[in-house]
A and B are shown apart, each in its own frame.
Chain A
Amino acid sequence: MKGFGKALARTPFAVTSKIGMAKKSTDPEFDDYHRHFSALEQGAEKLIKDSKAFSDAVTSLFTAGAGFASRFSVILQPIAGEYDLIGKHPDAGHTIRNVAKYEAAMTEMRDLIGPELELIDTRIVGPAKELQAVMKTIRKSITKREHKLTDYDRFNNSLTKLRDKKDKSLSDEKNLFKLEQDFEIATNEYDYINNALKQDLPRFMMLATQFIDPLFNSFFYMQLNIFYLLLEKMQSFADESKYDISSVPGAQIAQEYEEKRTDAWNIIENLGIIKRIVSVSRLVQQTRAQNNQTMLGRAGSVATSSGSSSLRAAPPPSRSVSASYKKAPPPPPSLSSQGAAPPPYTPSSSGVAAASAAATKRAPPPPPALKPKPKPPAPQIKYVVALYDFAAQADGDLSFNAGDRIELVQKTESAEDWWTGRINGQQGVFPVNKCQQVSKAGLWIQPRSDSRPPNSSIPVLVPPPSPSLMALSLARMHPSMRIPCLSSTVITRRAMMSALRTGAINHPPLPNSPPLTIPAESTTMSADAAAPQTAAPPPPVPRAEKPRPKIRAAKAALTITPGAVQRLRNLLSGPTPQLIRIGVRNKGCAGLSYHLEYVEKPGKFDEVVSQDGVRVLIDSKALFSIIGSEMDWKEDPLSSKFVFKNPNIKDACGCGESFNVAS
């Protein structure tokens, strides 16, 4: 209660001194000490906090270290049912053998560190806390001094005020006497405590320094000990397990790690199970493409199929077999149809449900990869055609006349070499530069030879293809075509002459040729043979075109991209002959939309477009809106569908499903 009264009495002064109405005395000397003391106070607090943080960090360092080691040893040791990890990964054998030791070392370290931490707790944090307690009492004294100072100032102020008063009343005189007494007491008390503080604080500072000395030393040794423990354990472990732990820059550790990093990363990255599943149906399709022979069932679709009538090849979930399927003539249900997978493509709209239902029961079209490749290049016999006569000069040489076809037995990379060939059952070597190669595709390839063949005195000419016209021009150019080293030997001349002769006689230069494709253009070639080094015109694209119905455009009404051809081939290669008809329906926001359906045979006025062996029908009514389009098969993660690039389109819906041809 007494304290409360005092506090109450001091309040007015505290307020007035704050707002500068009352004078407050200061003691610079004390203020200086006070500042230092406050710093020390904060220091002690921080010291305790940081010591705790430090010991916590050390604890977690060693616990985590031990945890890390034990996890690592679990991971690098056989997990239930595995065996011989070292055998499987001999490179990692060293690690596998030592991981258990590492674990033991780390655990031991964690246990060893316990006492050290306890030391920190008792020897550092404990005294620091005591120091804090001491400081608290000193702080109390300082507060007390503050109070006494307040009292002193208060009475001093009142006293001076009263003294300065000109005409004092009786009560003033009485008060003055009382104030003088109070002031004296306050002065005494303040002086006492202020002096005591001024005297003792410096001593305390000294003591604090002395105090921190041993404390700091102890703490230092404790920290050193922790590092030493860590170092020693690591070293003994490394010695035991033969690890090189010599101190190297961190970058080097990283670099050596990179060197040791095996291709396990790449292998793991290539695993299928770490790739996100986009759609199971796509996966199924991929697998089908891979092992196409053993395919059963059909893909269910995760992708949603579009509701519009445009042809979207959403792989149809057969689970969703709906009433619309009833329209389809139900195929003979048989258990043996297990093996029959419908094509993965089915139009989703009900308009084509008939077709899709029919497709459902059809024998599985083999997946794309099964398709016979256009023509695997069978082991072909290669031929060269002689341009000039050549008489054997030595044993093992092959003689031939211009125009002969020589079957190649052995060839070398160089076109100026001597190759081994066979003609009329005879085998021998011959100079290549006297011949022309016939490539697989039936192209003529001229050996590019501008220099003399090795081991041969035969002069080198760059002869144009043999036919007569050229031969004549060659004859005209003859002198100029002599290449410096052309030492006109008998053979040379003879060869030249016979080239001219045979060229004139054997107009089709290749009589009785084997079934290999000597291009029919061989005669016409003479025309552009004037450019000696150019290759012949490209081989005609094989185009199996069927007889067409009466009405047909001069140009195909529809072009089909290779992708679409492939797709159509899959769709159409069922046991029952069937065709896809493209029509146009009046629907969609722009007015018209494509409509695809299966039909058994072409309608009367249907336009048949046949390209690369697939046939597509175009509804005669739709011909005008479709003509000139390009049909493509597009597959992306969201949908797979036929798309049409239609030049007639004047207007199309943003969704791409419908279009308009009228302007």
Chain B
Amino acid sequence: MSWAGFKKTVNRAGTTLLQKTGQIERTVDREFADEEAKYRIFEKECQALQKDAKAYWDAMRAMTSAQSRIAETVETFYGAADQSSEGAMAGHAYKRSVDDLDTSFNRELDGPYRTTVSEPLGKMCAYFPVVNEHITKRNKKLLDYDSARSKLRKLIDKPSEDPTKLPRAQQEHDECKEMFDMLNDQLIAELPQLLDLRVPYFDPSFEAMIRMQAKFAEEGYEKLSGVQRYFADNVRDDYAAGQLDAQVEGILQEMRELSICGGN
């Protein structure tokens, strides 16, 4: 921090302290406070949205890649016995379709997702630090203004010996006021605009997101359901009836009865 900056910081700390103790009165700007509150909500939501959007996308990717890994594992199991059974065929088909889903998802939807959701969100979120900087600056200038004003008041109440003091204080006051007003006016004028523009800004992203979700679901469903052809006819009903679970249980039992599982 530069020396000038340091001086300013110290002065402002003093002002804050005096304000806390009620020595210097604080400017209350309702209009700005309202706008800031709204902006804060927006900022928070936007950041959360960005996080969620990313999590959503990552989860989709994780889902497809987990599926393709599972498919690999299933193949190992079939590989242990014979390669040509019905189950092995189904396993193959499953692996193919899942791999297909994984790659096509990455290839086809990744770019569009980036342009339609991730980039606009990222861009908007990148604006926030700058806006915050403006707000901070405005708050600092407000402190300067408050302190200059209180100095001026004091001088008017108790005129000083030095006749140059008053005009100087006056000038300082005017200067601070101008700076503060400028920053404040800009924020008051532009924060609502920013908030207002969020609607047209995000509107297209929403639809794109829905369409991509729907596409993902549809493709996933179509690709997977193609594998059903390789299953035996009764599998679907068995699954629905919980028969498959019983089969699994039965086989596990059989395994346990193997002599090598005696563990002795």
Residues in A lying within 8 Å of B, measured CB to CB: 36, 39-40, 42-43, 46-47, 50-51, 53-54, 56-61, 63-65, 67-68, 71-72, 74-76, 79-82, 85, 88-89, 91-92, 95-96, 99, 102, 123, 127, 130-131, 134, 137-138, 140-141, 196-197, 199-201, 203-221, 223-224, 227-228, 230-231, 234-235, 237-238, 243-245, 247-251, 253-254, 256-258, 260-262, 264-265, 267-268, 271-277, 280, 283-284, 287, 295-300, 302, 304, 318-319, 321, 330, 333-335, 337-338, 341-342, 360-361
Residues of chain B within 8 A (CB-CB) of A283 are 182-183
Q: For the complex, what is the distance from the CA of A131 to the CA of B251, rounded to whole Å? A: 10
Given pairs A262-B203, A271-B194, 12 additional interface contacts (CB within 8 A): A39-B76, A40-B76, A43-B76, A46-B69, A46-B72, A67-B55, A211-B251, A258-B115, A275-B130, A297-B171, A337-B171, A341-B174
Closest chain-A Cβ to B6's Cβ sits at a distance in Å of 13
Query: Could you tell me if B214 and A273 are in contact, using CB atoms closer than 8 angstroms?
Result: no
Cβ–Cβ contact A68 & B67, under 8 A:
no
In the docked arrangement, what's the CA distance between A413 and B183, Å? 49
Any A CB within 8 A of the CB of B24: no
Q: Once the chains bind, are B56 and A64 in contact (CB under 8 Å)?
A: yes
Residues A79 and B41 in contact, CB atoms below 8 Å apart: yes
Which residues of the other chain, B, contact A219 by a CB distance below 8 angstroms? 70
Please tell me if the beta carbons of A102 and B210 are within 8 angstroms of each other in the complex.
yes
B residues neighboring A (CB under 8 Å): 2, 4, 34, 37-38, 41-42, 45-46, 48-49, 51-53, 55-56, 58-60, 62-63, 66-67, 69-70, 72-74, 76-82, 85, 87, 90-91, 94, 108-113, 115-116, 120, 124, 127, 130-131, 133-134, 137, 141, 163-164, 166-168, 170-179, 182-183, 186-187, 190-191, 193-221, 224-225, 227-228, 231, 235-236, 238-239, 243-245, 247-249, 251-252, 254-256, 258-263
A496–B60 Cα distance when bound, in Å, is: 90
- In the assembled complex, how far is the CB of residue B237 from the closest CB belonging to chain A, in whole angstroms? 11
| Cα–Cα, bound, A27→B94 (Å) | 36
Are A137 and B224 in contact (CB-based, < 8 A)?
no
Contact B212 A221 (CB under 8 A): no
Is A214's CB under 8 angstroms from B248's CB? yes
CA gap between A298 and B59 in the complex, in Å:
56
Please list 8 pairs of residues, one from A and one from B, whose beta carbons are closer than 8 Å in the complex, sorted by A's number: A68-B49, A68-B52, A71-B46, A76-B198, A123-B244, A213-B87, A217-B244, A280-B137
Pairwise interchain contact B112-A257, C-beta atoms closer than 8 A: yes
B176 touching A300, Cβ below 8 Å: yes
Q: Is the CB of B197 within 8 A of A137?
A: no
A249 surroundings in chain B (CB, below 8 A): 108
Chain A residues lying within 8 Å of B193, measured Cβ to Cβ, are 267, 271
The one of A53, A140, A196, A234 that contacts B214, using a Cβ cutoff of 8 Å: A234
Q: Which chain B residues lie closer than 8 Å to A54 at the CB level? A: 63, 66-67, 70
Q: Which of A47, A209, A211, A256 contacts B248 (CB 8 A)?
A: A211
B229–chain A nearest beta-carbon distance, Å: 12
The answer to whether A209 touches B207 (Cβ under 8 A) is no
Assembled-state Cα–Cα distance A80/B40 (Å): 11
A245–B206 alpha-carbon span in the complex (Å): 12
| A134 cross-chain contacts in B, Cβ below 8 A | 252, 255-256, 261
Chain A proximity of B139: nearest CB distance (Å):
13
Are B191 and A273 in contact, with the CB atoms below 8 A? Answer: yes
Instruction: Collect the chain B residues with CB atoms within 8 Å of residue A92's CB.
Output: 199-200, 203
Contact, CB under 8 Å: B175 / A67: no
* Chain A minimum-CB-distance residue to B69: A50
Q: What are the 7 tightest A-B residue pairs by CB atom distance, in nearest-first order?
A: A297-B174, A245-B214, A61-B59, A57-B62, A64-B55, A297-B178, A230-B217
Interface of A is mostly: helix
In the bound complex, do residue A61 and residue B63 qualify as a contact, i.e. CB atoms below 8 Å apart?
Answer: yes
Which residue of B38, B131, B239, B245 contacts A274 across the interface (Cβ within 8 Å)?
B131
- With A67-B48, A80-B41, A250-B215 as known contacts, state yes or no: A273 contacts B187, CB within 8 Å: yes
Contact A234 B164 (CB under 8 A): no
Contact partner of A234 (CB less than 8 A), chosen from B51, B85, B210, is B210
Q: Is the beta-carbon distance between A234 and B217 smaller than 8 angstroms? A: yes
Contacts of A304 in B (CB 8 A): 2, 4
Q: Using Cβ atoms and an 8 Å threshold, which residues of chain A touch B82? A: 209
Whether A254 and B208, one on each chain, are in contact in the complex, defined by CB atoms closer than 8 angstroms, is yes
Q: Is the CB of B221 within 8 A of A253?
A: no
Partner of A284, one of B46, B120, B178: B178
Judge whether A287 and B182 touch: CB under 8 Å: yes
**B168 and A318 within 8 A (CB):** yes
Shortest Cβ distance from residue B181 to the other chain A in the assembled complex, whole angstroms: 9
Q: Which residues of A contact B48 (CB under 8 A)?
A: 67, 71
Give Cα A233 to B11, complex, Å.
60
Of B34, B207, B243, B244, which one neighbours A260 at CB under 8 angstroms?
B207
| Given the contacts A46-B69, A238-B210, A276-B133, A298 and B56 also touching, CB distance less than 8 Å | no
> In the complex the two chains form, what is the Cα distance from A261 to B261 in whole Å?
66
B34 touches which one: A81, A102, A231 (CB < 8 A)?
A81
Q: In the complex where A217-B231, A260-B204 touch, is A333 in contact with B70 (Cβ < 8 A)?
A: no
Query: Considering only CB atoms, which chain A residue lies closest to B209 in the complex?
Result: A68
Q: Is the CB of A297 within 8 A of B175?
A: yes
- Minimal Cβ-Cβ distance residue in A for B247: A214
From B130, B245, B255, contact of A273 by CB (8 A): B130
Asked if B218 contacts A71 (CB within 8 A), the reply is no
Chain A residues within an 8 Å CB radius of B111: 250-251, 254
Q: Which of A131, A302, A330 contacts B252 (CB 8 A)?
A: A131
Q: Using Cβ atoms and an 8 Å threshold, which residues of chain B touch A237?
A: 210
Contact yes or no, B199 A96, CB < 8 A = yes
Q: How far is the CA of A57 from the CA of B61 in the complex (A)?
A: 8
Q: How far is the CB of A268 from chain B (nearest CB, A)?
A: 5
With contacts A39-B79, A209-B80, A219-B70 known, is A60 near B38, CB below 8 A? no
Chain A nearest CB, measured from B121 CB (Å): 10
Known A-B contacts A71-B52, A217-B231; A130 and B210 likewise in contact (beta carbons under 8 Å) = no
Answer whether A330 and B217 are a contact pair too, CB < 8 Å, given A127-B248, A134-B255, A297-B178: no
Identify which of A39, A82, A253, A333 contacts B215 (C-beta below 8 A): A253
Instruction: Kindly state the separation between the CA atoms of A59 and B51 in the bound complex, as whole angstroms.
Output: 16
Chain A residues with CB under 8 Å of B41's CB are 74, 79-80
Whether the pair A123, B245 counts as a contact (CB closer than 8 A) is yes
Contact of B52 (CB < 8 Å), options: A67, A273, A276:
A67
Do residues B170 and A215 form an inter-chain contact, with CB atoms below 8 A? no
Query: Are B260 and A50 interface neighbours, CB within 8 A?
Result: no
A49 and chain B: residue at smallest CB distance: B69
Which residues of A are found within 8 Å of B211, using beta-carbon distances? 243-245, 248, 253
Contact B112 A250, beta carbon cutoff 8 Å: yes
Residues from chain A with Cβ under 8 Å of B221 in the complex? 224, 227-228, 230-231
Nearest-CB distance from B138 to chain A (Å)?
10
A208 touching B260 by the CB < 8 A rule? no
Distance in angstroms between the alpha carbons of A105 and B258 in the assembled complex:
50
Q: What separation, in Å, do the CA atoms of A276 and B129 have in the docked complex?
A: 9
- Does B213 contact A234, Cβ atoms closer than 8 Å? yes
For residue B157, give the distance in angstroms from its CB to the closest CB of chain A.
14
- A48 CB, min distance to chain B CBs, angstroms: 9
Q: Within the complex, what minimum Cβ distance (angstroms) separates B28 from chain A? A: 18
Tell me the smallest distance from the CB of B72 to a CB of chain A, in Å.
Answer: 8
Chain A residue contacts of B166, Cβ below 8 A: 333, 335
Contact check, B56 vs A68: say whether CB atoms are below 8 A apart. yes
Q: Give the residues in chain B near A208, CB-CB below 8 Å.
A: 77, 80-81, 255
| Chain B residues within an 8 Å CB radius of A275 | 130
Choice from B46, B51, B81 contacting A205 with Cβ under 8 Å: B81
CB-CB under 8 A from A297, the residues of chain B are: 171, 173-179
Give the CA-CA distance A258 to B111 in the complex, in Å.
13
Interface residue from B85, B179, B260 paired with A141 (Cβ < 8 Å)? B260
